[in-house]
Amino acid sequence: MVDSKHKWKAWLFLSPSLVLLAVFTVWPIINTMIMAFSEGYSQMYALAGKSFQFGLGNFEFVAQYPKFIQYLKTTVLLCVLTVPISTILALLIAVALNSIKPLRKVLQTIYFLPYVTNSIAIGLVFSAMFNVIGNVSATNAQIESYGIINNILMAITGDKWINWINAGSPYWANITVMVIYIVWNALPFKILILLGGLQSVNKQYYDAAKVDGTSKARVLMRITVPLLSPMITYVVITGFMGGFKEYSSIVGIFGADMGPTGNPDAMNTIVGYVYDSLAANQEGLASAAALILFAIILAVTLINLQISKRNTHY
Amino acid sequence: MAKIVTMHERDIEKTSRIQTVRSILGTIMKYAFLLLVAVAVLFPFYWMINSSLKTLAEYKRTVPTFWPEQVMWTNYLAVFESGELGELFGYTLQIGLISTVASLVLTILTAFVFARLEFKGKNVLFAGLLATMMIPGELFTISNYTTVTQLGMITNDSVLIVPFLVSVFYVYLLRQNFMQIPNELYLAAKVDGTSDLKYLWKVMIPLALPTIISITILKMMGAWNSYIWPQLVEPQLGKSLITNGLLRMGFQDASGQTDFPKQMAAVALVSAPLFAVFIFFRKYIMKGVSRSGIKG
Amino acid sequence: MKVVLENLTKVFPSRNKKAGGEVIAVNNFSFEIPDGKLIGLLGPSGCGKSTTLYMISGLQKPTSGKIFFGDDDITELTPENRGVGLVFQNYALYPHMTVKQNILFPLQNLKGADKLSKEVMLQRAYEAAKLVQIDELMERKPSELSGGQQQRVAIARALVKMPRVLLLDEPLSNLDARLRLQTREEIRRIQRETKITTIFVTHDQEEAMSISDMIVVMKLGVVQQIGAPQDVYDSPENLFVAKFLGTPPINVFDGTIKGGKVYIGEDAVLDAPGVEDQEVYVGVRPEGFELAEDGAFHCKLRSVEVMGRDVSIVSENACALTPVIRSIINADNKVDSSKEEVCFNLKAHKTFVFAKEKVTWSTAEEGKTLYNFNKGAQTLNAVYGAKTYELGTLLTDEDIAKLEKQAKQSLSPVAKFFVKQGKKILATAQAKVAPAVEFVQNIIPEKPALTGEITYKLAMGKNKDGETLYFAGGVDNARLCVTSDINLAVDLHAELITKNVEITKGKDTKSKTIVEGYHVYYLEGDKKVYPELNVANGENHEKRIFL
């Protein structure tokens, strides 16, 4: 490091960034705290001169608000389903990909494609694939088009079809659609990281295992997974971080109503609640919910780190 | 050591056969799995294009067609000519370019200061900035929304640019890259009387170019894909970026039914630039992503 | 278990993809390894010894040829079905398992009829551990062990399944000098006790000679000589083998055979009855010199180094290929170090004469000889445009390997830059970074110079004697061509020399193009002129002439 003679220069270079960071990064942290602990805070009223009482009222309200609890359940359910599925799938794909030569580059590129998409735009495509056109009510169904997914399902099972996302669709069907879309979206990043990890593993471990006649499954469980554990931890943690903040992908599928027609908010999440509150000029509640979200993510991350520490011994 | 027993009794021919069959079967299964995944990954894209080229009547058939009987290129034309999409493209591109350029300048300067210059409190300041990376973005959005309202920015274009100009993460990424350039080079430059900025321009930027390209592309893609913030400020701003614009358009025909083929054509048009960038900058995108783990 | 190699050949695709072609790593290797012996595969890096070992293990498949264990043809078998134990150069111990788990691992893989009970596995693991004396360390992790201990664990892991053949890849190269001596004795002992046919690979001739029953000397994929260590040392079949074995190394002189006598310069040093007149190399082992007042061989005395039992006389001779001649004689012979000249008689059984045949692909032109130049550290200046860049020290193969490793660990983007852009010709990254970066950046428009394509531009260097040499960097394997003629160097190009060979695998015979070496040429007008250049893959030069 070099001691610059002109210290003012450093500050000069820094000043624009520091001003922006102060306003849009540091202040929000303080401001969010203030808003969260000002009971019933709303900027509109604040500007009109109203003052707010300091207290835990926002948190109490959010924690008891049945819709928020429902959103929290949906969020957790999506996380718990998508993170393991996408991680295991990505691991299998990465391992298979790492063991082939012809087509590897092409497949790798294909698998990465979902990453470079607009999650709202492609959400519309998924939505179209699951969408049933016509009257789907159970008593008097008159269907024009079942949607390509149902067409495939009917080709396999005979005549079964499912109301995935249309009016009257069940919760589990909505969740299934979301899980499929989120996993599809999450795979590229996980494959990329895990494949990178695999490629940095010394090939000689695999050669040694080969000479010793180790079965493929055993190599995966006893060598690959332990050696990849730092990457797996990373992928799981970022997966949970993303999962708890799930929002845009749901908008992509279900639209801004966050649910099938006639049942808005059925798929809403914590982040959705934050923005809904914000749009309703309830900044206090939004802040409280955001802090709760932060606490959850922090806790899950710490737990993950703890678990991985116990399982990584080198 | 005991006598060696493991190998002698084995029938070489038979072992050899079993081993060949196994390895062939294994390879077939591996490829089958990988190709199946590839099909699953590609299917939505195929379906998007397939649907976008159909007439609404063909789209709504109970037995779907896997390639349109009548290829309707006009869907694309219609979507583009309906006015809004072209406007959205232009506006989003404009916002994306301005914010990317401005953001690059600030990021490079900031990273350079933190990597090379020395002043009191630098390390504390940097550590403080890093700590903010742990906080989910939603938390900033709330307050930033109230801030831009108060500052009156919410009614002009700057609201889409200014709040996101400096990303601590990109600063961090670039600083790490700058730090790896041997200090010796900087000393040599100082001895020669090279100014800091010239050194930055002549040595550091060329050496860190791959990272800078990665940041540029990710930032552009970020602007293209951003949804939440534009959606929040849209009512006051009165303008949309491409993503929330797309969602708003709705594509209803006269009878109030969604015209799916047109919608899919619009989605394809929105996705096309992303794919184009991906094809040309695959290496940089993948490298940047593997180091950042963030989308846009 | 005897191991038989029959016409074993391995061809790799060339690393230089654009140029195409292939490189023969191992060429037509036939050898029968007797049961229960310890065999050393010996040669400089890139000679194909590791490839041979990997082919025996089954990790690499031979392009053609066969491998037998006993009477069984195991060429097509996968490694696990061969019953080999392999110890890797860096041991490849699983870092997340304890020593015990590492040693147990191969046993737990056994299936079907071979499956062992837990008790038997443990018992065998402890037996193997005891054999290599690490039974006290069973609960530790590899990271908690010293290099020597890790090495033993690796051997135990290879031995525990009682392999038919034990293979060791550079087993001592990661140990320090003291441990190396100790461990090589250990390997000898373990091999004697287990009587498992053992093949090990090394580039250290002393290591191979000291413990092997037999050594195989290889160079560029071709076996040069096979035999008991002493026999190979006493009777090398070509100059390469003579130079490769022995410390201090053999002294080599330009010589001639004229009228039944061997001459070094004007001195007739040996009789060579019945050998036709020709240019030769004369190699004399350090212990092959006999002090004699009236000795036939005259050298300029430089210094005398006393080593106790022996003295080492350092002298010079105009015909020597090395700057100094080193001779070791019994200390009973008093040497007057004040004298200008020293005279020797040469012992016939320690002196070898080699034919001076070079494989050349072209006409030589006087005064424009180029040498194949890729070893030894040289100072490197690069000239580009009007500017000279002092880059530091020329990279040797080992430096490049080190640099590559460094770059992999992503220590420095500059190191990466070097490896990517210019590993074939550039300087050490540490010493002179600034000019090197500038050089690389300036030279980038001239991509051919840096990307391993066939043409390269100029660089300039000084050799150890301070003489300025200009050179063009090589295509593959960091070959550098050196000339003292700057005009020539400026125009230097290289092209691949390829050969079509037929490779038989099973019933199929395929014709493949193989890279044999590189042809360096310069242009005179439109005419390509090929200076004499000694580049070859796998040719056997400088055969010994038996007197």
Which chain B residue has the Cα nearest residue A96? B30
- Report CA A231 to chain centroid distance, whole Å: 18
How many Cα atoms occupy the beta-carbon half-sphere of C105 within 13 Å?
33
* pLDDT 10s digits, C96-147: 899 999 999 988 888 777 788 889 899 989 988 988 888 899 999 998 998 8
pLDDT at A5: 55
How many Cα atoms occupy the beta-carbon half-sphere of C375 within 13 Å?
3
Is C452 an 8 Å CB contact of chain A? no
Report if residue C360 sits inside a domain.
no
Contacts of A217 in chain C (CB under 8 A): none
Nearest to A116 among B30, B165, B278 (CB): B278
Q: How many other C-beta atoms are found inside a 10 Å radius of the C-beta of residue C479? A: 20
The larger pLDDT score, comparing residue C18 to residue B23, is at: B23
pLDDT at C460: 42
| C351 lies in the same domain as C395 | no
pLDDT at C167: 93
| C481 lies in the same domain as C416 | yes
Q: What is the CATH number of domain B83-249?
A: 1.10.3720.10
- Dig out the tokens for C113 from the structure: 């009829």
Q: Tell me the residue range of the domain where C190 lies.
A: 3-237
Facing residues of C346 across strands? Answer: C289
| C402 lies in the same domain as C486 | yes
| C77 lies in the same domain as C195 | yes
| C80 lies in the same domain as C104 | yes
* pLDDT 10s digits, B123-162: 899 888 888 888 888 889 999 998 998 888 888 899 999 9
pLDDT at C498: 55
Q: How many other C-beta atoms are found inside a 10 Å radius of the C-beta of residue C355? A: 18
Cβ <8 Å between C106 and A204: no
pLDDT at C447: 29
Structural contact between residues C86 and A211, judged by C-beta atoms closer than 8 angstroms = yes
Distance (Å) from the C-alpha of residue C211 to the closest C-alpha of chain B? 21
Q: What is the CATH number of the domain that holds C229?
A: 3.40.50.300
Beta C197-202 vs C379-384: how paired, if at all?
unpaired
Spatial CB neighbours of B46, under 8 Å, sequence gap ≥ 6: none
Q: Please tell me the least confidently modeled range out of A278-282, B97-101, B187-191, C358-362.
A: C358-362
Report if residue C246 sits inside a domain.
no
Distances in whole angstroms, Cα of residue B230 to Cα of each of A32, A222, B244, C336:
20, 48, 7, 95
Contacts of B203 in chain C (CB under 8 A): 437
| C155 lies in the same domain as C32 | yes
Strands (E), B75-207: none
Here the ipTM equals 0.90
Of the candidates C355, C381, C407, which is a domain's last residue?
C355
Contacts of C108 in chain A (CB under 8 A): 218
Amino acid at C343: C
Which chain C residue has the Cα nearest residue B10? C81
Q: How many other C-beta atoms are found inside a 10 Å radius of the C-beta of residue C125? A: 24
Report if residue C500 sits inside a domain.
yes
d(CA C172, CA C72) in angstroms, rounded, equals 31
Contacts of B41 in chain A (CB under 8 A): 110-111, 113-114, 184, 187
d(CA C256, CA C329) in angstroms, rounded, equals 26
Cβ <8 Å between B232 and A275: yes
| C347 lies in the same domain as C226 | no
- Compute and round to an integer the Cα radius of gyration of chain B: 27
Neighbours of chain C (3+ CB pairs under 8 A): A, B
Report if residue C400 sits inside a domain.
yes
Is C35 an 8 Å CB contact of chain B? no
Cβ <8 Å between B4 and C163: yes
Q: How many CB pairs under 8 A join A and B?
A: 258
- Dig out the tokens for C261 from the structure: 């006598």
Structural contact between residues C518 and C495, judged by C-beta atoms closer than 8 angstroms = yes
Q: Exposed (0-12), middle (13-18) or buried (19+): which is A8, by Cβ within 10 Å?
A: exposed
Q: Give the percent of chain A with pLDDT over 90.
A: 56
Nearest to C478 by CA among C407, C401, C541: C401
Which chain C residue has the Cα nearest residue B178? C413
Distances in whole angstroms, Cα of residue B46 to Cα of each of B82, B264, C421:
24, 11, 40
Mutate to test the interface with B, among A21, A43, A235, A276 (most CBs of B within 10 A): A21
Residue A182 reports pLDDT greater than 80: yes
Which chain B residue has the Cα nearest residue C433? B185
Contacts of C105 in chain A (CB under 8 A): 209, 212, 214, 222
* pLDDT 10s digits, C425-483: 333 322 333 444 444 444 433 322 222 222 233 344 444 344 444 443 332 222 333 34
Which chain B residue has the Cα nearest residue C68? B12
Cβ <8 Å between A210 and C105: no
Spatial CB neighbours of A268, under 8 Å, sequence gap ≥ 6: A67, A70, A71, A74, A250, A258, A259, A276
Is B121 an 8 Å CB contact of chain C? no
Confidence of residue A167 (pLDDT cuts 50, 70, 90): confident
Cβ <8 Å between A211 and C143: no
Mutate to test the interface with B, among C61, C72, C443 (most CBs of B within 10 A): C72
pLDDT at C511: 67
| C224 lies in the same domain as C256 | no
In three-state secondary structure terms, C136 is coil
Main-chain phi, psi angles of C98, to 5 degrees: -75, 170
Cβ <8 Å between A28 and B136: no
d(CA A13, CA A15) in angstroms, rounded, equals 6
pLDDT at C513: 58
Nearest to A144 by CA among B63, B292, C310, B131: B63
pLDDT at C495: 54
Report if residue C364 sits inside a domain.
no
Cβ <8 Å between C413 and B184: no
207-246 in A: which are within 8 Å (CB) of C?
A: 207-215, 218, 222-223, 226-227, 229
Cβ <8 Å between A314 and C96: yes
How large is the average pLDDT for residues A238-247? 91
| C88 lies in the same domain as C222 | yes
Report if residue C538 sits inside a domain.
no
| C382 lies in the same domain as C262 | no
How large is the average pLDDT for residues A250-264? 89
Distance (Å) from the C-alpha of residue C94 to the closest C-alpha of chain A? 7
Nearest to C353 by CA among C269, C416, C449, C421: C269
d(CA A13, CA B166) in angstroms, rounded, equals 13
Nearest to B7 among C164, C194, C441 (CB): C164
Q: Please tell me the least confidently modeled range out of B52-56, B102-106, C487-491.
A: C487-491
Cβ <8 Å between C83 and B16: no
In eight-state DSSP terms, residue C14 is P
| C174 lies in the same domain as C263 | no
* pLDDT 10s digits, C56-67: 998 888 988 999
Distance (Å) from the C-alpha of residue C184 to the closest C-alpha of chain B? 20
Cβ <8 Å between A278 and B142: yes
Domains (range + CATH), chain A: 1-27 (no CATH), 65-311 (1.10.3720.10)
Q: How many CB pairs under 8 A join B and C?
A: 67
Q: Is the peptide bond before B261 cis (omega within 30 degrees of 0)?
A: no
Which chain C residue has the Cα nearest residue B14? C77
Residue B34 reports pLDDT greater than 90: yes
Domain count, chain C: 3
d(CA C384, CA C438) in angstroms, rounded, equals 10
Helix/strand/coil (H/E/C) assignment for every residue in C39-70: EEEECCCCCCHHHHHHHHHCCCCCCEEEEEEC
d(CA B180, CA C263) in angstroms, rounded, equals 59
| C345 lies in the same domain as C313 | yes
Nearest to A24 among B163, B228, B278 (CB): B163
Q: How many other C-beta atoms are found inside a 10 Å radius of the C-beta of residue A138? A: 7
Confidence of residue A44 (pLDDT cuts 50, 70, 90): confident
Spatial CB neighbours of B252, under 8 Å, sequence gap ≥ 6: B258, B259
Contacts of A191 in chain B (CB under 8 A): none
Q: Where are the domains of chain B?
A: 83-249
How many Cα atoms occupy the beta-carbon half-sphere of C183 within 13 Å?
23
Distance (Å) from the C-alpha of residue B208 to the closest C-alpha of chain A? 18
Mutate to test the interface with C, among A101, A105, A212 (most CBs of C within 10 A): A212
Is C116 an 8 Å CB contact of chain B? no
Facing residues of C326 across strands? Answer: C314
**pLDDT < 50 positions in chain C:** 15-21, 358-396, 403, 406-492, 496, 515-518, 532-540
Distance (Å) from the C-alpha of residue A204 to the closest C-alpha of chain B? 20
Spatial CB neighbours of C172, under 8 Å, sequence gap ≥ 6: C151, C180, C183, C184, C202, C204, C207
Contacts of C72 in chain B (CB under 8 A): 12
- Dig out the tokens for C251 from the structure: 């002294």
Structural contact between residues B232 and A279, judged by C-beta atoms closer than 8 angstroms = yes
Report if residue C424 sits inside a domain.
yes
